[in-house]
Amino acid sequence: MRSEIRFVSCLGPVLAQYLELKVSVGLRFDTAGRVLLHLDRFLAANTKDTEGFDAGCFAAWGQTFEHMCSGTRRSWMHTIYRFCLYWRRTDPECFLPDPAQFPPRSPYLRPYIFAEEEILHLLDLAGKLEPHVMSPLRREVYRLALVLLYTSGLRRGELLRLTLGDHSPTEQTLLVRESKFYKSRMIPLSPDGARELQVYLVARRAHRLPMDAASPLLVQGQRTGYSGGGIYQGLRDLFVAGGVHTTTGVTPRVHDLRHTFAVHALLRWYREGADLGAKLPFLSAYMGHVSPASTEYYLPFVAALAGAASEKFAEHCKPLLDSFQEPGKTP
């Protein structure tokens, strides 16, 4: 995407310098690059010089994406705000948007945590899917997608970018290449994940679909992988068919499977009496986060975790609590 960007407006040279700087320090900057390009095209059509980029011009640009949700509009405006801060290093008089006037943040979406019974029901439904002329392994693909997303905590994009060469059948691992923050990681497959992947590969060979290392893991046609929108819609259709919905009646997001992976991992450690402080860095590395602090985003304090924490607290503090209940005895 970045190599294709050609800025043509009055701010083109500064926009190009800013983008190059961000990329040079290791930022992917794909989404921000598209925002910069969107502004550049707007300025090219409406402004002849840099002085024309003022509060009125910024507001007019903002009106071109009013159809987006407030969180996205706020993010786009903050991208330009940070660009303007960079621009001020060489032009102290340039326009600087006021963040106080940006749209409000989108409310935090509480993740939906799938129950194990729901996952099993969804797998049963996926196993009953009919093959399609464009996807002869439709049922095997969706079963594998559900299992890997639930047992490995993969992001949807990471799953779709996997190739057959990223799977090591001897080590039973998957190599996730340069995902978010340019981080690559090797993740071990769970027994269920390894078993489901083996079933899928057997079916793939039987249908004589490509088996070379460069082929997409989730193959649709002869050499075509599933698109992000395609796999997303297919999984959402399964959620609807399975009657899975949040307390507000909304269909869960595919990304909620990643939340579920993290929460269920934490629950297992609670029940095993493990030291969570020592375990959290492992979960962080497994999920491809920069630090354990990022992983906390995926660990909402749901009722199941609260109950497990209460049990652990009661077990740890039982002697102290018992001492208060014995007459005449001080702790």
Instruction: Answer yes or no: is 111 within a domain.
Output: no
Query: What is the model's pLDDT at position 63?
Result: 96
Average pLDDT over every residue of 242-259? 93
* Average pLDDT of the chain to the nearest whole number: 87
Q: What is the residue range of 312's domain?
A: 256-325
Percent of the chain beyond pLDDT 90? Answer: 59
Selected residue with higher pLDDT from 200 and 301: 200
Least-confidence region, from 9-23, 203-217, 298-312: 298-312
**Is the whole-model pTM more than 0.75?**
no
Query: What is the model's pLDDT at position 2?
Result: 47
Residue 125 and residue 96 share a domain: no
Among 208, 241, 274, where does a domain finish? 241
Instruction: Answer yes or no: is 107 within a domain.
Output: no
Catalytic sites, residue numbers: 155, 180
Instruction: Answer yes or no: is 248 within a domain.
Output: no
- Residue-wise pLDDT for 135-182, tens only, equals 889 999 999 999 999 999 999 999 999 999 999 999 999 999 876 666
Among 101, 136, 166, where does a domain finish? 101
Residue 231 and residue 177 share a domain: yes
Average pLDDT over every residue of 264-289? 83
Number of folded domains in the chain? 3
Average pLDDT over every residue of 240-245? 96
Residue 93 and residue 193 share a domain: no
Query: What is the model's pLDDT at position 299?
Result: 62
Instruction: Answer yes or no: is 250 within a domain.
Output: no
Instruction: Answer yes or no: is 89 within a domain.
Output: yes
CATH number for 157: 1.10.443.10
Among 241, 264, 289, where does a domain finish? 241
Residue 141 and residue 90 share a domain: no
Query: What is the model's pLDDT at position 11?
Result: 95
Query: What is the model's pLDDT at position 234?
Result: 93
Determine the residue type at 198: Q
Q: Is the pLDDT of residue 15 over 90?
A: yes
Query: What is the model's pLDDT at position 43?
Result: 96
Residue 86 and residue 130 share a domain: no
- Between the ranges 101-110, 184-193, 276-285, where is the mean pLDDT highest? 184-193
Query: What is the model's pLDDT at position 176?
Result: 92
Going by pLDDT thresholds of 50, 70 and 90, the confidence category of residue 1 is very low
Residue 122 and residue 95 share a domain: no
What's the 3-state SS for the chain?
A: CHHHCCCCCCCHHHHHHHHHHHHHCCCCCHHHHHHHHHHHHHHHHHCCCHHHCCHHHHHHHHHCCCCCCHHHHHHHHHHHHHHHHHHCCCCCCCCCCCHHHCCCCCCCCCCCCCCHHHHHHHHHHHCCCCCECCECCHHHHHHHHHHHHHHHCCCHHHHHHCEHHHEECCCCEEEECCCHHHCCEEEECCHHHHHHHHHHHHHHHHCCCCCCCCCECCECCCCCECCHHHHHHHHHHHHHHCCCCCCCCCCCCCCHHHHHHHHHHHHHHHHHCCCHHHHHHHHHHHHCCCCHHHHHHHCCCCHHHHHHHHHHHHHHHHHHHHHHHCCCCCC
Going by pLDDT thresholds of 50, 70 and 90, the confidence category of residue 24 is confident
